[in-house]
Amino acid sequence: MTDDNQQAAPSSENAADAPHHRTIKSFVMRAGRTTEGQERALRELGPRFLVPFRAEVLDTTATFGRQAPVVLEIGFGMGDATAQIAQTLSDTDFLACEVHEPGVGALLKKIGEHDITNIRILQHDAVEVMEHMIAEGSLDGVHIYFPDPWHKKRHHKRRLIQPTFVDQLVSRLKPGGYLHLATDWEPYAQQMLEVLSANTALRNTAGSYADKPAYRPLTKFENRGLRLGHGVWDLVFRKA
């Protein structure tokens, strides 16, 4: 990830004449050291649990080796919550997107330690995954927990939860499928609520913000924030 806008490189065939399209990234590629244990997990478990990005619709039944509800998680960080949710909801398959290699390695390590079989990982930009690999009307749910709030006003355009992206998420959900967001930044929670409420294909399962669903564990960071009096806001909307 980078804080600057990315340029899509034109093909060499028409490089001189092609316009330069600027794509705003909602994430920044943070530098981070991959530990020896994470590297071992990438090496040993990656071939089984990592799904390579391809510009074609993913066959989730073949990918997971069974037919089950499928939930997409976008940006799982170090994978603690993802691993716990997958163990709690063992009858559901989780397709998890994260671009940071230490986080991918950490989740793979947890998969090995706890013998978790219902997670597959895409180490790729979730926007492109949604566009190319997820079929319309195929998801039972989407989890997006604590996305970068981009605090400064001039960076709000980089926030992941925008009307266009929510439209795309909704198109990938089955009727009755749900969208579960969580943030600890109240101004972003307010924007999330406004954007989701404005989508006529979604209905709010709560009057405003939702109670934290039992399947979502409290992270160490979240627990520390709650002890300091910081708020956390969950939103759960369903597709009509």
- Check whether 219 is labelled as a binding-site residue: yes
- Check whether 220 is labelled as a binding-site residue: yes
- Check whether 174 is labelled as a binding-site residue: no
- Check whether 211 is labelled as a binding-site residue: no
- Check whether 93 is labelled as a binding-site residue: no
| CA distance linking residue 28 with residue 140, whole number of Å | 28
Q: Which of 3, 17, 140, 148 is catalytic?
A: 148
- Check whether 44 is labelled as a binding-site residue: no
- Check whether 3 is labelled as a binding-site residue: no
- Check whether 56 is labelled as a binding-site residue: no
Alpha helices (H) along the chain: 36-49, 60-64, 80-88, 101-114, 126-133, 163-172, 186-198, 220-227
CB contact at 8 A, 142 and 180: yes
Pairing between strand 93-97 and 70-74?
parallel
Pairing between strand 202-204 and 233-239?
antiparallel
Tokens of 67: 């037919």
| CA distance linking residue 152 with residue 33, whole number of Å | 27
| CA distance linking residue 116 with residue 112, whole number of Å | 7
Is position 80 annotated as part of the catalytic site?
Answer: no
- Check whether 222 is labelled as a binding-site residue: yes
Enumerate the known binding-site residues for S-adenosyl-L-methionine: 73, 98, 125, 148
Provide the annotated binding site for substrate.
152, 184, 219-222
Catalytic residue numbers, as ranges: 148
Task: Extract the annotated binding site.
Answer: 73, 98, 125, 148, 152, 184, 219-222
